[in-house]
Structure 1
Amino acid sequence: MSRRFAAPLAAVDSVDSAAGTRIEAVKRIVSDDPYLVGHYPDFTIYPGVFTIESVHQAVRQWAAERHGPGTSVELTTITSVSFAAPLLPGDTMSIGCDVTDLDAPSTVRVKARCHRADGVLAGRMTLELRIHREDGHDDA
């Protein structure tokens, strides 16, 4: 059996993409989320890979709203990523993404900044993602 993704993890709680190429999302870091167990023992933090996944899920929801249900978004390139401060249980992460169409067919560049509720920058990244529509057309 082959799956494109593992069991879904809720890496965003809400997404607002009404501003066209600007995406705003929120993720509450909850202590009993399964991916926090053991990361790290005695100092539980939200894993960096899930910060990337939070941005990815926000872009997937934006793409579905823009292109319709069945649209998929494939992460193709992590151009840059940096984590500046830990996200701890009880924190709320705000994600701001700016989306730019690239010359490559169906590819967008996303520049994201992730902040804790106290305003501290938790991470920033630049990703490239390919958008696949359900009707077989790739379109960014």
Structure 2
Amino acid sequence: MSCAAAEMPFAAPLRAVDHVGPLERGTGLRLRAAKRVRVEDPYMVGHFPGLTMLPAVFLLEGLRQTVARAFDLDVPPEVLRIHSVRLLAPMLDGDDIDFAVDLRPQPEGNSWELHARCTRSDGTPVAALRLVVGVPGAERHVSAAAAPPEPTAGVPVIDHVRIRELLPVRHPMLLVDRVDELDPGRRIVTTKAVTGSEPCFQALPEGLTAAHYAYPRSLAFESFGQSAALLWVAGSGTDVPDGVLMLAAIRGCRFVGDVQPGESMRHVVRLEHLSAGTCFMSGSIWAGARCIAEVDSLIAVNRPRTEVQGAASVAAC
């Protein structure tokens, strides 16, 4: 089966699951899905150059696509809430990832709470996720901790050239255009312009609704995560040349809106605590004056590149 994102009936960075099994109906709903990590998949070439690693956010995309295929939904489902995500091991080129998913229907209808366990083919656990995926209903207001970020004006605090020096990701996975504000060790505000030429929109059929062109929330969260990495690295004055900054956990994320092509996405990230190679952050995602998501806690870690590459060697044995 081809893995081209063009096969998806809605905007998606890639086909994030290769196979979805049938729904098992017993004491609850269960299903299994599978994905092979491939360097040739869309977006993968830029994450990270020289060390192909499946972005953790693509597990969220995989669960979204699993729900769409399992229930044959006409309207694109979305990640509505992330209760918790724990990343346990890297997922590298050639790894086969198995998704074991328990689904619990939610009272609002057309949404399900998912408890997912992801493992490599050698039995190594790679992630545990608990989130709600479903068809968006009437948007609820997110009470953000602050007012919308000020409109961008003038020269950026950190420009695109410097961002490329600080972040070990490249096109099309580099998802921060500029840094507009930076209070080192405290707060950062960044911008990502969403254009109709993004790879995730390519080859979609004509006649789709705006919902089908919503910027994938997996990519929106990846952009937020890259902004968090910039706060950590630029704020500390350390480029971490030999390290790999990796998402370790998410706790409490609520999405209530989307970004459409032609809009600019803004991230406000706050550093809550930094200790021994682990960083705790929170923040919000904006489209203009609309707060479209709020993140209670993002936890990132810095791992030596040799340690991550060692995981690849072990997986290949």
SS in 1 for 2:24: coil
The corresponding residue for 1:135 is none
SS in 1 for 2:77: strand
Cα deviation for residue 70 of structure 1 reads 1.7
Structure 2 runs not aligned, ≥5 long:
1-8, 137-317
Cα deviation for residue 7 of structure 1 reads 4.9
Cα deviation for residue 102 of structure 1 reads 2.3
2 CA distance for matches of 1:125 and 1:28? 19
SS in 1 for 2:71: helix
Residue identity over aligned pairs, in percent, reads 35
The corresponding residue for 2:58 is 50
Relative distance call for 1:17 and 1:70 in structure 2 (3 A) is same
The corresponding residue for 1:127 is 131
Q: Does 1:17 align with 2:27?
A: no
1 CA distance for matches of 2:110 and 2:120? 32
Q: Does 1:29 align with 2:29?
A: no
Point out the structure with max Rg over C-alpha: 2
The answer on whether the counterparts of 2:96 and 2:121 sit within 8 Å (CA) in structure 1 is yes
The corresponding residue for 2:47 is 39
Q: 2:90 is aligned with what amino acid?
A: P
Cα deviation for residue 101 of structure 1 reads 1.4
Cα deviation for residue 18 of structure 1 reads 3.1
| More displaced stretch, 99-108 vs 83-92 | 99-108
The answer on whether the counterparts of 2:13 and 2:43 sit within 8 Å (CA) in structure 1 is no
The corresponding residue for 2:111 is 107
The answer on whether the counterparts of 2:81 and 2:132 sit within 8 Å (CA) in structure 1 is yes
Greater relative contact order (Cα < 8 A, sep 6+) = 1
4+ runs deviating over 4 angstroms: none
Q: Does 1:88 align with 2:92?
A: yes
Task: Give deviations 1:2-50, integer Å, cap 9, x for gaps.
Answer: xx95356211111012313111001011121132112123322000111
Please report the TM-score for the alignment, with normalisation by the length of structure 2.
Answer: 0.37
The answer on whether the counterparts of 2:97 and 2:121 sit within 8 Å (CA) in structure 1 is yes
The answer on whether the counterparts of 1:15 and 1:26 sit within 8 Å (CA) in structure 2 is yes
Relative distance call for 1:18 and 1:101 in structure 2 (3 A) is closer
| More displaced stretch, 117-126 vs 35-44 | 35-44
Q: Which has the higher helix share?
A: 2
1 CA distance for matches of 2:48 and 2:69? 30
2 CA distance for matches of 1:39 and 1:8? 13
Q: Does 1:61 align with 2:69?
A: yes
Cα deviation for residue 121 of structure 1 reads 0.7
The answer on whether the counterparts of 1:24 and 1:95 sit within 8 Å (CA) in structure 2 is yes
Relative distance call for 1:84 and 1:16 in structure 2 (3 A) is same
2 CA distance for matches of 1:24 and 1:97? 6
The answer on whether the counterparts of 1:63 and 1:71 sit within 8 Å (CA) in structure 2 is no
Cα deviation for residue 71 of structure 1 reads 4.6
The answer on whether the counterparts of 2:10 and 2:76 sit within 8 Å (CA) in structure 1 is no
| More displaced stretch, 86-95 vs 12-21 | 12-21
1 CA distance for matches of 2:60 and 2:78? 13
